[in-house]
Chain A
């Protein structure tokens, strides 16, 4: 990282941290969403761009962490503690997903994640906590006594930790292993890179941060129900950010998350249409500009 980009990043972080002082709630809300989406995009990029794992069931991690926080609220314990526990549960779910699918061809991981997401969705639809449940007994509340500004700082903290952590991981031995696998998996195996373990650890780390960000999002939402928590749109959200921003680069997803905010929040009124445009954009980018917008700016 050059000195110039270091200064730039420090400036951006300072601006983001100072922003809540401006009393505009709508923009603060947009930025809060941006931070959450940025974490999803960063982790998805780490999986798809660096580890060769295309995860289609991102709802798994988001939903599990959110439900965990919800159960802590229901039982009267601290919701924030539930959030952290939920993130660990999401990490464990990542490992659970990895064991049967990672030794197989890449597509089995992709579809395996879709299957697990669907399984969890139907599980939480049938399984109803009795106390405090609403929406036909399917939804559960998540409550914590914090306002939007504090939530924003929480999201900023999560996003920063995630960014720094992923950057450190990439520099470490694990990151080198992942880069070797991305280059040529067979050659990496021959050179003694523990492919399975590398992918497993990468998945667990990404699942943890995704869960954390998803949990913070549901803290803002105030309730969780299976159809939105284990929804396919979490994957779409992460994928659009990564593919538009630039897959396989560290700063690409940060840029792409901005597009995700535009499509999912400001264009939420035209939900069906915005998904159509997103799909077309993903196809177009992969076919003609696979390195994303980040490459164009460089």
Chain B
């Protein structure tokens, strides 16, 4: 009996840590979709792109992925701003459906570009700390999981502070609430939208490399990441970073517990089921 309990205990620890990692992947979507109501279907693929950038930097110049964590975000920030200006700005005001189709096309393009450049082989970001682990109770926890969890907590507080205490953060929220009222208050909403999308892709890049340290990735892993982030953000009620973090924990626990009781093959099925249950319960997203 005690071994069973300790098994469940160690699985729970893993689930919570995994939840932190999932929360990390949700923040970018929480900004773009939750706050700004721009649904970026290429969210997961942009994370994978950041992973491949880190992978290439490591291969070409031997730059450790731990450093690339901070190289990816500025690049993807610029990409996000360009993305907004070139593709999303015009259809956003007229036909919201077009944004879905455009970002869907972008997602397919990114997947296939990665496929052509880096081949469909699964890659991973290997560093000196990849194999280290720390003992927690009776279980051994990989160090990279703990680093990611710490980054998730730090990013949660950082974003919370940014959104409620800085001028740009407040402007982003004001623009999301009422665009014309924000304009009357001297907010350049065009610029704010561009910055918000850039910020969201930059956070995705940051989270993407951290995720790449933990999981191997292929050009098509982006879809799975998108679904996980979506589940996290929807569970978290879209706008709050703290709740987004909790959403991540719930998804992480769902995944490991379903893996424990039903078998690992059922994990992603249970995840999808969880999303549907949440959508059924939340009628306030209309």
Q: Which residues of B contact A283 (CB under 8 A)?
A: 87, 102, 105-106
Return 25 A-B CB contacts under 8 Å, by A number.
A54-B100, A54-B101, A100-B276, A106-B96, A108-B279, A110-B39, A110-B100, A112-B276, A114-B226, A115-B230, A122-B272, A125-B265, A126-B263, A236-B108, A272-B112, A272-B115, A275-B108, A278-B108, A279-B108, A280-B105, A280-B109, A286-B91, A286-B98, A287-B91, A290-B98
Main secondary structure on A side of the interface with B: helix
Cα distance A103–B286 in the bound complex, in angstroms: 7
How far is it, in angstroms, between the C-alpha of A110 and the C-alpha of B280 when the chains are bound?
Answer: 15
B116 touches A (CB below 8 Å): yes
The answer to whether B106 touches A279, judged by C-beta atoms less than 8 angstroms apart, is yes
Q: In the docked arrangement, what's the CA distance between A110 and B276, Å?
A: 13
Of residues 74 to 111 in B, which have CB atoms within 8 Å of A's CB atoms? Answer: 87, 90-91, 95-98, 100-102, 104-106, 108-109, 111
For residue A276, CB closer than 8 A to chain B, the reply is yes
**A148 contacts B by Cβ under 8 Å:** no
Min CB–CB distance A279 → chain B (angstroms): 4
A114 to B282, CA, bound (A): 18
Cβ A126 vs Cβ B265 within 8 A: yes
**A119 at interface, CB cutoff 8 A:** yes
Q: Would you call A105 an interface residue if the criterion is a C-beta within 8 Å of the partner chain's C-beta atoms?
A: yes
Chain B residues within CB distance 8 Å of chain A: 33, 39, 41, 87, 90-91, 95-98, 100-102, 104-106, 108-109, 111-113, 115-116, 223-224, 226-227, 230, 263, 265-266, 268-269, 272-273, 275-276, 279-280, 282-283, 285-286
Decide if the interface of chain B is mainly helix, strand, loop or mixed.
helix
Contacts of B116 in A (CB 8 A): 272-273, 276
A binding-site residues for B, Cβ under 8 Å = 48, 52, 54, 56, 99-101, 103-108, 110-112, 114-116, 118-119, 122-123, 125-126, 232, 235-236, 239, 243, 271-273, 275-276, 278-280, 282-283, 286-287, 290
Q: Which residues of the partner chain A approach B263 to less than 8 Å between Cβ atoms? A: 126
Partner of A279 from B90, B98, B109, B283 at Cβ < 8 Å: B109
Contacts of B108 in A (CB 8 A): 232, 236, 275, 278-279
| B227 lies within 8 A of A275 (CB) | no
Q: Are B113 and A105 in contact (CB under 8 A)?
A: no
Contact partner of B39 among A107, A236, A280, CB < 8 A?
Answer: A107
* Contact A287 B276, CB 8 Å, known A106-B100, A122-B268: no
Establish whether residues B39 and A48, one from each chain, have CB atoms under 8 Å apart when the complex forms: no
Contact A276 B112 (CB under 8 A): yes
Tell me, rounded to whole Å, the shortest Cβ–Cβ distance linking B107 to chain A: 8
> Which residue of B102, B279, B283 is within 8 Å of A286 (Cβ)?
B102
Q: How far is the CA of A179 from the CA of B227 in the complex (A)?
A: 31
Whether B104 and A239, one on each chain, are in contact in the complex, defined by CB atoms closer than 8 angstroms, is: yes
The reply to whether A239 and B101 contact each other, CB–CB distance below 8 Å, is: yes
Q: A236-B108, A273-B116 are in contact. List 8 more A-B contacts (CB 8 A).
A: A110-B39, A116-B272, A118-B268, A122-B268, A122-B272, A126-B269, A275-B109, A287-B102
